[in-house]
Amino acid sequence: MQLKSHQECTDKIATVVFTVLGYLNIVFVAVICLYLVISGIPAIGQIGFVDFIFGTQWASTASEPKFGIMPFILTSVYGTFGAILLGLPIGFFTSVYLAKFAPLKIKQFVESTVDLLAGIPSVVFGFIGMLVLVPGIQYFFNVPDGSSLLAAILVLSIMILPSIIKVSIGAIEAVPEEYELGSLALGANKVETVYKVMVPAARRGIGVAVVLGVGRAIGEAMAVMMVAGNVANMPDLFESVRFLTTAVASEMSYSAGLQRQALFSIALVLFVFIMIINALLNLVLKERKGKK
């Protein structure tokens, strides 16, 4: 009897602790959202929503300051899109190979290398990009300076590889074996089976991989700051550009007054962007699932 009540008591305590910890997550998200909105809204109001979002000039410390963040928004969109464009095919084919074709030893080796890649801090990516990639671009494309959108895209595409590969492998491996066996029994060869049966069945998981990749690419600041040049130009492949993240990071340390508030507003815009991207992709994935 005593023992039972003791167990019950432990159970209750455990339930309370885990529930509190679970809710704590929600509290974190809520506090961050609230803080961003509260500190981001005033500057947008002061500058004017249209001038802020669609303005093409950013000169935060000029005597007549201009706070237009269209260059940052476009740069972030182009940069992320470029990184996915390069990173997705590489990551996708790597994961198909590792999940279905590679011998066990190679698979284990490559997988641990990918884990290692995921563990490299972004400042190291930035540093190597600065020392190798930037001079490389300058040399190969014969431009005056290699710090550019292209350099940022290349760095980002490598940085998003681990998340794409890992999640895609998981998705492909989660497809029931019967699908594969059934397809093979119907006379399809292995390549056909993988690309026409397994991959479509794993579509949702691969979609998640893309979301994670987009999330990482659009939110990355440090590595990008070191290779992109950070001038508020409209995006161009070989032009020095500033992302939404780097716009916040580069000016935050010495900012004051409206400039500082505007930086919070940029963070808010970035936040909204990430929410929209997540929501959109979720919607698309759900619709597809519904059709099936």
Partner 1 sequence: MKFKKTFLTAVCACAMGFSSMANAGSVITDGSTSMEKVMGMLIESFEGNGIDVTYNPTGSGSGITAVLEGRADIGLSSRALKAQEQEKLVGTDLAYDAIVVVVNKNNSLANITTEQVKDLYTGKITNWKDLGGADAPVVLIGREAGSGTRDGFESVTDTKNACKYRQELTSTGDVITTVGQNENAVGYASLSAVNDTVKVLTFNGVEASEATVLDKTYKLQRPFVFVTPKNKALSKDAQTFLDYSLSDEAKPFIVKAGVVPAKN
37 counts as binding partner 1 under rule CB under 8 A: no
CB of 156 to partner 1, least distance (A): 18
Contact 172, 102 (CB under 8 A): no
CB of 230 to partner 1, least distance (A): 4
Structural tokens at position 69: 């963040």
Interface residue with partner 1, options 103, 144, 187, 290 (CB under 8 A): 144
CB of 128 to partner 1, least distance (A): 13
61 counts as binding partner 1 under rule CB under 8 A: yes
259 counts as binding partner 1 under rule CB under 8 A: yes
Residue with smaller CB distance to partner 1, 68 or 229: 229
Interface residue with partner 1, options 128, 145, 215, 219 (CB under 8 A): 145
Interface residue with partner 1, options 96, 130, 159, 164 (CB under 8 A): 130
- Nearest of 263, 206, 260, 247 to residue 89 by alpha carbon: 206
Contact 72, 234 (CB under 8 A): no
DSSP tag of 98: I
57 counts as binding partner 1 under rule CB under 8 A: no
Q: Tell me, residue by residue from 196 to 235, as one string, x for binding to partner 1 by CB under 8 A and - for no binding.
A: -----------------------------xx--xxx----
CA triplet 166, 167, 169: central angle to 5 degrees?
Answer: 65
